[in-house]
Amino acid sequence: VRDPAFMAQVARWSASGVAAPWPAAGTGAWVGVPTMNAVVREMADQHDVTFGWHVRGLVRREGDWHLAGETGDGERSQKGPFDAVVVSLPPEQASAIVALHDLSLASTALAARSQPCWTGMFAFEDRLPCKADTVREAGLISWAARNGAKPGRKGPETWVVQASPHWSTQHIEDGADAVAQALLAALGEALGMVLPTPVVASAHRWRYAMSTGSNLGALWSPQSKIGICGDWLLGPRVENAWISGRTLATQMMARTPQEVA
């Protein structure tokens, strides 16, 4: 945590019991408790949020915005009307969803590029007999962490292993099973031990995981009333995602205080 405003927000989350310091990850590191999505739940409880509904496109009708989407079962519908639209997606996806309505915003987003990240999840019967709770920049590993070292965590011994952007790009189309085995072997090498067979081993490909950042902060068009925010507009940190969203909100309310709700 570096930004003063974000520090104040983290302090409020901490007071609410949904965030706590994580000393093993270094000075200034925080995590959600008891899980990472606790912070999201805390924020969502204060608003009318719809989950499990995939937005497929934007529809402009009689000066208002409507969202076209579908449920996981494929049931299609529209939601609206809305005064404005905020898109908080990776640049490749943000560009696609606004392209028909604001070419300038779409072009700016399209100029940014995300890097992928293969992430492995491993669970073991017993705690691994190693002192390290985290691994940084070791071979193909960018970051790995023992989940139980995070505050408020319970349950079996689990590790999350993130591959480097370079390795993830090279192996972007590999099968998940093969990637999981490669990450498991890399974890054992980094910890300097022969790992026992995990009871659970899986890998997930985040195709649009990280970006280098553009220093734009946020994108807002008072003409189309479309805004775009996300960490890729500043840099690959949760903190930057929060700052970008706050920046966009400020721009929207400053430009059209009576029109945007």
Residues 206 and 120 occupy one common structural domain: yes
Residues 203 and 247 occupy one common structural domain: no
Residues 158 and 231 occupy one common structural domain: no
Residues 88 and 166 occupy one common structural domain: no
Residues 217 and 201 occupy one common structural domain: no
Domain final residue, candidates 193, 210, 227:
210
Residues 252 and 219 occupy one common structural domain: yes
Task: Let me know if residue 164 belongs to a domain.
Answer: yes
Burial 186-196 (b: 16+ CB within 10 A, else e): bbebbbeeebe
Task: Let me know if residue 72 belongs to a domain.
Answer: no
Dihedral sign of CA atoms 24, 176, 173, 55 in order: negative
Task: Let me know if residue 122 belongs to a domain.
Answer: yes
User: Which pLDDT does position 247 carry in this prediction?
Assistant: 97
User: How many folded domains does the chain comprise?
Assistant: 3
In percent, the amount of the chain with pLDDT more than 70 equals 97
Residues 178 and 130 occupy one common structural domain: yes
Rounded Cα–Cα distance for residues 55 and 70 (Å): 7
Rounded Cα–Cα distance for residues 229 and 223 (Å): 17
Task: Let me know if residue 99 belongs to a domain.
Answer: no
Residues 149 and 199 occupy one common structural domain: yes
Rounded Cα–Cα distance for residues 29 and 196 (Å): 30
Residues 199 and 217 occupy one common structural domain: no
Rounded Cα–Cα distance for residues 16 and 4 (Å): 19
- By the 8 A CB rule, do 140 and 257 touch? no
How does DSSP classify residue 151?
T
Per-position DSSP letters for 175-222, written without gaps between them? -HHHHHHHHHHHHHHHHTSPPPPPSEEEEEEEEEEEE---S---EEET
- Boundaries of domain holding 133: 114-210
What residue has token string 């996981």? 72
Task: Let me know if residue 66 belongs to a domain.
Answer: no
Task: Let me know if residue 55 belongs to a domain.
Answer: no
User: Which pLDDT does position 246 carry in this prediction?
Assistant: 96
Residues 254 and 202 occupy one common structural domain: no
- Residue 110 class from Cβ within 10 Å (0-12 exposed, 13-18 middle, 19+ buried)? middle
pLDDT tens digit sequence for 119-159: 999 999 999 999 999 999 999 999 999 999 999 998 899 99
Whole-model pTM: value is 0.89
pLDDT tens digit sequence for 244-261: 999 999 999 986 544 444
Residues 184 and 123 occupy one common structural domain: yes
User: Which pLDDT does position 104 carry in this prediction?
Assistant: 97
pLDDT tens digit sequence for 4-47: 999 999 999 999 999 999 998 888 899 999 999 999 999 999 99
Residues 135 and 181 occupy one common structural domain: yes
Task: Let me know if residue 219 belongs to a domain.
Answer: yes
